[in-house]
Amino acid sequence: MLNRLFSEGFRVFFLAAGLYGVFTGLIWVLYLGGATAGPASSQAPVLWHAHEMIFGYATAAIGGFFLTAVPNWTGAPGARQGFIALAAGLWLAGRLAVWYAGLLPPVLVAALDLSFIPVLALKILTQLLKRPKPQNVMFLLFLSYIWAANLLVHLEWTGATSDTALAGLRGGLIAVTALISVLGGRVTPAFTRNAMKRAGVPEARWPHSAKPVERAALILALLLPILVMTGLPAQAIAPAAILFGLLQIARLARWGGAWCLNKPILLALHLGLAMLALGMLLWGLSGLGIGNELAGLHILGIGCVGGMTLAVMSRAALGHSGRPLVASAPMALGYGLMAAAALLRWAGTEIDSLYLPAMLATGGLWTAAFTLYLMAMWPALTGPRVTTAE
Residue 146: pLDDT over 80: yes
Residue 184: pLDDT over 80: yes
Give the span between the Cα atoms of 116 and 122, in whole angstroms: 10
Residue 388: pLDDT over 60: no
Classify the phi-psi angles of 76: left when phi > 0, otherwise alpha if psi is within -120 to 50, otherwise beta.
beta
**Mean pLDDT value across the chain:** 95
Give the span between the Cα atoms of 372 and 338, in whole angstroms: 11
Mean pLDDT value of segment 241-267 = 97
Specify the pLDDT at position 277. 98
Specify the pLDDT at position 131. 87
Instruction: Quote the radius of gyration of the chain (alpha carbons, Å).
Output: 20
Task: Check: CB of residue 157 under 8 Å from CB of residue 176.
Answer: no
Specify the pLDDT at position 198. 94
Specify the pLDDT at position 390. 39
Q: Give tens-digit pLDDT for 360-376.
A: 999 999 999 999 999 99
Q: What is the DSSP letter of 53?
A: I
Specify the pLDDT at position 16. 98
Q: Give tens-digit pLDDT for 64-73.
A: 999 999 999 9
Task: Check: CB of residue 96 under 8 Å from CB of residue 113.
Answer: no
**Among residues of the chain, what percentage have pLDDT more than 70?**
99
Specify the pLDDT at position 43. 82
Confidence of residue 2 (pLDDT cuts 50, 70, 90): confident
CA angle 24, 51, 240 (to 5 degrees): 125
Specify the pLDDT at position 39. 87
Mean pLDDT value of segment 337-364 = 93
Residue 312: pLDDT over 90: yes
Q: Give tens-digit pLDDT for 20-65.
A: 999 999 999 999 998 887 888 778 899 999 999 999 999 999 999 9
Specify the pLDDT at position 130. 87
How many CB atoms sit inside 10 A of residue 102's CB? 12
DSSP codes joined into one string, 245-268: HHHHHHHHTTTTGGGGTT-HHHHH
Give the span between the Cα atoms of 36 and 23, in whole angstroms: 13
Confidence of residue 389 (pLDDT cuts 50, 70, 90): very low
Specify the pLDDT at position 352. 83
Residue 333: pLDDT over 60: yes
Question: Closest by alpha carbon to 67, among 17, 125, 3?
Answer: 125
Residues 236, 242, 243, 249, Cα dihedral to 10°:
170
Specify the pLDDT at position 350. 86
Q: What is the pTM of this model?
A: 0.96
Considering only residues 182 and 3, tell me which one the structure prediction assigns the higher pLDDT.
182
Specify the pLDDT at position 200. 95
The SS3 call for residue 8 is: coil
Q: What is the DSSP letter of 161?
A: -
Q: Give tens-digit pLDDT for 75-115.
A: 989 999 999 999 999 999 999 999 999 999 999 999 999 99
Q: Give tens-digit pLDDT for 148-173.
A: 999 999 999 999 999 999 999 999 99
